[in-house]
Chain A
Amino acid sequence: MNPLLTLEHVSYAYHQAEGETPALSDISFSLEPGHFLAVVGPSGCGKSTLLSLISGLLMPEEGRILLQGVPVREARANIGYMLQRDHLFEWRTIYSNVLLGLEIRNQKTPEKLEKVDHMISSYGLSAFRESRPSQLSGGMRQRAALIRTLAMEPDLLLLDEPFSALDYQTRLSVCDDIYGIIKEQDKTAILVTHDLSEAVSMADQVLVLSRRPGRVKLCLPITFSMECRTPLASRNAPEFKDYFNLLWKELNDDV
């Protein structure tokens, strides 16, 4: 199968008057369609920068990023990006928050609106269409933010620690929730996280970055023997502990 996303020797540095801060150095990997990749690494290793580069918000200083074989900026493929917090606007209702992306791209076509309606009802937000974001729980807000991203029908989904603002209980269930939705929609996704167990429980492949400037230390495929995999079930699988320990060692041996 052709990879959906390919990074070839990508490097990036931030420039300021005080000097330059190399963030990423010589990153190469590729991602198959339908796969779930988790990126872990110590804080400040350039994980979020990596997503900004892939989404085309930043341009790599060296190397190439190809989406379906074409440079990201020219690619016709859509990239959906979920930020750390949901950033639902308090001055809009949930429904009009969800439509924000379509509104910006002038794509409020009947078919797309119907898809949005369908997602709102199947992901349990029908009763909250006209509510304000502050009336929703953290988990529901994160679901609304995901629908906002999925409304654009992205081919690749970037998740930048989307659960970090939630408390532990909610986090586990929202993690299951979002994972289910991504798998049901058959999306390719990249999840950035500092939580190793979250990475192991969700991903098919874990990329470990070194300390700044981030380099690829390890790309570990994750497979579980169970039939239908959910993040919560994966946490109880016998393989989970081994993967976790392997990643833990990898991350800690340069401290």
Chain B
Amino acid sequence: MSEPLSSCSRAQQSFLKRLRLQRRSICLARILIFILFLVLWETSTRLHLIDAFIFSSPTRVLQTFLSMIRDGSILLHTGVTLLETLLSFLLVSLLSLLTAVLLWLSPSLSRILEPYLVVLNSLPKSALAPLLIVWLGANMRTIIVAGISVAIFGSILTLYTGFSEADPEKLKLIRTLGGGRYHMLAKVILPGSVPVFLNTMKVNIGLCLVGVIIGEFIGSRRGLGYLIIYGSQVFQLDLVLMAIVLLCLMAMLLYQLLGFLERRYRRRA
């Protein structure tokens, strides 16, 4: 991509130029849509087309944000949600990897557990949240468990499927070289599953955030999920919308972080 322009033909140069132009216009269109949305939202509240008390407005959201920055409370709420999400994400990554390895090492275990995993995976995890509160109490631990519960079963299933789809001929190669099941795991399955793992992590980070917010809805006094519930109960919709905007930003940031890791892996490989 960063090839010097002088070293390629004129046709290639014009191709690269068109490519760059295309990229730039896509980026521009994205930003324009965002600005258009903000302008529409703001003007329609100013012109009283919609009620600013219910629908809030970009300036009101910003004002709420600034005042909460001044008293420092927004940093606390955002930080708590971020911490809970990251912790549950790390635990999900670790636990699902370990479980998938265990399932791969023991085919009979995986056949026994398969229906359980499938059921647990398709169960709506928000149904579990009230139980978790009762069992574990209204604290951060519960919220992290809620975050884990949303992502972990799907993650185990995806990783295990990825492991089982390894080329049987590659596994045979390991056997012809005198290796056993441990070598298959260490030399073929794990290194070959890095792309699947990175992809699963990208999905998991979003799911963990979902789980954490569900947990905060019902059992917390801190975090963005709490702000949303609190705001809607006292009819401060500026607060609710601000929390949602921050959630959007957080989700985007976390996703980008994993995208960055993935690109680094691709470049190395």
Contact = CB atoms under 8 A, between A and B. Distances in A.
Contact of A57 (B169, B175, B183, B188): B175
Given A57-B172, A83-B169, A89 B177 contact: no
Given A89-B192, A91-B192, A83 B269 contact: no
Contacts of B188: 89
Interface stretch (A65-73, A99-107, A169-177): A99-107
A129 interface: no
B173 A104 contact: no
Interface string A86-124: 010111100000001101110000000000000000000
Given A91-B191, A91-B192, A91-B194, A85 B169 contact: yes
Contacts, number: 45
A200 B194 CA distance: 44
A84 interface: yes
B187 A87 contact: no
A104 B176 contact: no
A91 B172 CA distance: 18
A121 to B, nearest CB: 23
Contact of B169 (A80, A87, A89): A87
Contacts of A152: 177-178
A132 B194 CA distance: 17
B196 to A, nearest CB: 13
B198 interface: no
A81 interface: yes
Nearest to B170: A87
B269 A101 contact: no
Nearest to A55: B176
A87 B178 contact: no
B177 A100 contact: yes
B114 interface: no
B164 to A, nearest CB: 18
A92 B170 CA distance: 14
Contact of A100 (B167, B187, B269): B187
A83 B174 CA distance: 11
Nearest to B178: A105
B interface secondary structure, majority: helix
Given A87-B169, A91-B269, A101 B177 contact: yes
Nearest to A158: B176
B174 A104 contact: yes
Contact of A104 (B167, B178, B194): B178
Contacts of A89: 170, 187-188, 191-192
B87 to A, nearest CB: 30
Given A89-B192, A100-B187, A104-B183, A83 B177 contact: no
B73 to A, nearest CB: 47
Nearest to A79: B176
Instruction: Specify which of B169, B175, B178, B188 lies most central, judged by the most chain A CB atoms within 10 Å of its CB.
Output: B178
A176 B269 CA distance: 33
A142 to B, nearest CB: 14
Instruction: Specify which of B170, B176, B178, B187 lies most central, judged by the most chain A CB atoms within 10 Å of its CB.
Output: B176
A90 B265 CA distance: 13
Contacts of A87: 167, 169-170, 173
Nearest to B183: A104
Interface string A138-172: 00000000001000100000000000000000000
A57 B178 CA distance: 10
B179 interface: yes
Instruction: Specify which of A91, A92, A103 lies most central, judged by the most chain B CB atoms within 10 Å of its CB.
Output: A91
A89 B178 CA distance: 17
Contacts of B176: 55, 57, 80-81, 83
Contacts of A132: 269
A93 B176 CA distance: 20
A101 B192 contact: no
Contacts of A148: 177
Nearest to A107: B178
Nearest to B177: A101
- 5 shortest A-B CB distances, which residue pairs? A81-B176, A101-B177, A104-B179, A91-B191, A87-B173
19 contacts: A57-B172, A80-B176, A83-B169, A85-B169, A87-B169, A87-B170, A87-B173, A89-B170, A89-B191, A89-B192, A91-B191, A91-B194, A100-B187, A101-B178, A104-B178, A105-B178, A132-B269, A152-B177, A152-B178
Given A104-B177, A105-B178, A152-B178, 7 more contacts: A81-B176, A85-B169, A87-B167, A91-B191, A91-B194, A100-B177, A104-B187
Interface of B: 167, 169-170, 172-179, 183, 187-188, 191-192, 194, 269
